């Protein structure tokens, strides 16, 4: 595309508008903005109408992305600019002055929307309308505290509120929230409200993430009822499909959801059998994320993490034998200088022992200390010095190198920065 041109890319789940390479705007099928690239800066809008701007800057590794949430008039000015751009593009489309690309795979699956109609949907959403939509979000959801990166565009279903453990000294996500399991009637009403709120925008969110913290702690019989309901409320691929066959099926069935995804802690996971997980897998469970954090028992104890490294190995093995993929989350920098060497050595050894496969993930997450939590007090009292950014980056590299070196079966090892999350 040459300078000065305008283009639209229509997909089944989204519309992308390009203008002069300076502006790339992406909208879901309801017309809501969800991401933008403008003047060298990346913007992500959450369903709650939060807007975060990320700028690439010069600096040491780990400090090359500067993030800031835009609020109030600053946010509204940006959203107004987006609407103005779309209005100009719509005028060019009406005059036949824009390139339109329709990406269909397989052929014939795009909704029956011409570019002008799709742009009209986008133009319904000005700053005031998006603000009102953000208020609607809070009527449907309790705060969506955190998701794994591959699930940032999931359809979140909050079976639980808060975390069943809630005592990890470093975790800021569930403090002040009493753990609660929704009764079945309330869960069904919640799912109906989620579908109504997302509207056609649900086409962008093709997996179901079962939240909040540790929902697999729910008793077996109740969990079976939940999964049976979810398998009726959403359409999941056949359990036996894997790899290319699964990807082809999902392309050919664009209204289907990839499956159910969720967190579990080591202690809860240890209490489930392979047969338990296999029943959930047949009902749609595809990947479970385990906050390992470390392979050091001493550091786990310091963090008030329930469970043991040996239990973590058993949980991962049970999940994989049941046909459920795993996402193993490891922190870099946690435990500061005192635990650094032991943390790296024992974590690498434990993850290697898991013998992960190509459908599994390992997330390396730089530790972000939250002042006021128990971790900070304990670390100060113990004389532990926090690692600076350069040391955390070095530990990330060391963890990655050690895990990849023993990763003969191809699990993806990726960075996970919790500061990037917005739902």
pLDDT at 107: 61
Write out the two tokens for 270. Answer: 């240890």
372 and 286 together in one domain: yes
| Tokens 């069904």 sit on residue | 188
How far apart CA 22 and CA 373 sit, in angstroms, is 42
| Tokens 């283009």 sit on residue | 7
107 and 150 together in one domain: no
With respect to residue 67, please indicate whether it lies within any of the assigned structural domains. yes
Reported as a single tens digit per residue, the pLDDT across 206-265 is: 999 999 988 999 999 999 999 999 999 999 999 999 889 999 999 999 999 999 999 999
97 and 147 together in one domain: no
79 and 202 together in one domain: no
Reported as a single tens digit per residue, the pLDDT across 126-149 is: 999 999 999 999 999 999 999 999
Average pLDDT over residues 65-80: 95
172 and 280 together in one domain: yes
Residue 334 has pLDDT above 50, yes or no: yes
pLDDT at 370: 92
Q: What is the CATH number of the domain that holds 151?
A: 3.80.30.20
What stretches of 127-254 show up as alpha helix (H) in DSSP?
127-140, 184-198, 220-233, 243-252
With respect to residue 173, please indicate whether it lies within any of the assigned structural domains. yes
Average pLDDT over residues 83-108: 85
With respect to residue 1, please indicate whether it lies within any of the assigned structural domains. no
pLDDT at 106: 64
With respect to residue 37, please indicate whether it lies within any of the assigned structural domains. yes
Say if residues 280 and 289 touch (Cβ distance below 8 Å): no
Reported as a single tens digit per residue, the pLDDT across 259-306 is: 999 999 998 878 899 999 999 999 999 999 999 999 999 999 999 999
In what side-by-side order are the strands of the sheet with 51-56?
65-70, 51-56, 41-45, 33-38, 23-28, 14-19, 6-10, 99-102
59 and 160 together in one domain: no
pLDDT at 103: 82
pLDDT at 330: 98
152 and 54 together in one domain: no
Share of the chain above pLDDT 90, in %: 81
pLDDT at 154: 98
261 and 349 together in one domain: yes
Q: How confident is the model at residue 174 (pLDDT cuts 50, 70, 90)?
A: confident
Residue 1 has pLDDT above 60, yes or no: no
Out of 87, 102, 132, pick the residue that ends a domain. Answer: 132
Whether the upstream peptide bond of residue 381 has omega within 30° of 0, thus cis, is no
pLDDT at 104: 72
215 and 330 together in one domain: yes
pLDDT at 3: 44
Residue 315 has pLDDT above 70, yes or no: yes
Q: Residue 414: phi, psi to the nearest 5? A: -140, 155
With respect to residue 117, please indicate whether it lies within any of the assigned structural domains. yes
Reported as a single tens digit per residue, the pLDDT across 304-314 is: 999 899 999 99
How far apart CA 215 and CA 162 sit, in angstroms, is 9
Reported as a single tens digit per residue, the pLDDT across 187-203 is: 999 999 999 999 999 99
With respect to residue 393, please indicate whether it lies within any of the assigned structural domains. yes
pLDDT at 175: 78
Look at the chain and report how many structural domains it folds into: 2
105 and 168 together in one domain: no
pLDDT at 18: 87
How far apart CA 154 and CA 208 sit, in angstroms, is 6
With respect to residue 394, please indicate whether it lies within any of the assigned structural domains. yes
Give ∠ CA 351-61-46 in degrees, rounded to 5.
80
In 3D, which of 206, 223, 220 has the Cα closest to residue 160?
223
Q: How confident is the model at residue 177 (pLDDT cuts 50, 70, 90)?
A: confident
Q: How confident is the model at residue 2 (pLDDT cuts 50, 70, 90)?
A: very low
In 3D, which of 40, 34, 36, 35 has the Cα closest to residue 56?
40
Average pLDDT over residues 387-408: 92
DSSP string, 69-116: EE-HHHHHHHHHHHHHHHHHHHHHHHTT-SEEEE--SSTT-S-S--HH
Out of 132, 157, 185, pick the residue that ends a domain. Answer: 132
With respect to residue 317, please indicate whether it lies within any of the assigned structural domains. yes
Please, what is the end-to-end C-alpha distance for the chain in angstroms?
32
| Mean pLDDT estimate for the chain | 93
Q: Residue 346: phi, psi to the nearest 5? A: -75, -30
160 and 42 together in one domain: no
- The neighbour count for residue 238, using CB atoms within 10 Å, is 9
188 and 302 together in one domain: yes
Residue numbers of the domain that contains 398: 141-420
Out of 115, 132, 149, pick the residue that ends a domain. Answer: 132
pLDDT at 260: 98
pLDDT at 341: 98
How far apart CA 82 and CA 91 sit, in angstroms, is 14
């Amino acid at each position: 595309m040459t300078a000065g041109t305008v283009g639209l890319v229509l997909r089944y789940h989204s519309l992308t508008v390009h203008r002069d390479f300076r502006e790339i705007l992406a909208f879901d099928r309801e017309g809501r903005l969800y991401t933008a690239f403008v003047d060298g800066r990346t913007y992500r809008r959450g369903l709650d109408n939060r807007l975060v701007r990320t700028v690439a800057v010069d600096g040491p590794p780990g400090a090359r992305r500067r993030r800031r949430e835009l609020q109030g008039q600053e946010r509204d000015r940006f959203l107004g600019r987006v609407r103005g751009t779309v209005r100009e593009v719509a005028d060019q489309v009406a005059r036949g002055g824009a390139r339109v690309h329709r990406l269909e795979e397989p052929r014939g699956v795009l909704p029956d929307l011409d570019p002008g109609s799709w742009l009209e949907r986008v133009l319904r959403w000005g700053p005031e309308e998006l603000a009102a939509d953000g208020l609607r979000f809070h009527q449907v959801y309790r705060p969506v505290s955190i998701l794994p990166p591959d699930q940032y565009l999931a359809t979140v279903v909050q079976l639980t509120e808060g975390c069943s453990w809630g005592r990890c000294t470093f975790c800021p996500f569930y403090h002040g929230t009493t753990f609660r399991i929704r009764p079945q009637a309330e869960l069904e009403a919640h799912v109906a409200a989620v579908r109504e709120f997302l509207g056609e925008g649900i086409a962008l969110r093709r997996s179901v993430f079962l939240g909040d913290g540790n929902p697999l702690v729910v008793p077996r019989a109740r969990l079976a009822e939940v999964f049976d309901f979810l398998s009726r409320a959403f359409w999941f691929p056949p359990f036996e499909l894997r790899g290319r066959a699964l990807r082809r099926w999902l392309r050919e069935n664009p209204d289907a959801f990839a499956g159910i995804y969720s967190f579990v802690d080591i202690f809860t996971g240890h209490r489930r059998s392979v047969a338990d997980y296999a029943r959930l897998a047949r009902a749609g469970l595809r990947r479970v994320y385990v906050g390992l954090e470390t392979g050091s028992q001493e550091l786990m104890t310091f963090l008030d993490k329930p469970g043991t490294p040996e239990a973590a190995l058993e949980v991962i093995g049970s999940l994989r034998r049941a046909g459920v993929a795993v996402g193993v989350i490891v922190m870099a920098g946690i435990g500061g200088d005192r635990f650094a060497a032991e943390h790296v050595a024992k974590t690498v050894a434990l993850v290697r022992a898991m013998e992960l496969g190509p459908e599994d993930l390992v997330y390396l997450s730089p530790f972000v200390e939250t002042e006021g939590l128990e971790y900070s007090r304990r670390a100060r009292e113990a004389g532990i010095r926090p690692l600076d950014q350069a040391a955390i980056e070095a530990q990330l590299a060391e963890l990655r190198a050690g895990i990849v070196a023993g990763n003969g079966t191809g699990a993806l090892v990726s960075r996970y920065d919790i500061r990037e999350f917005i739902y």
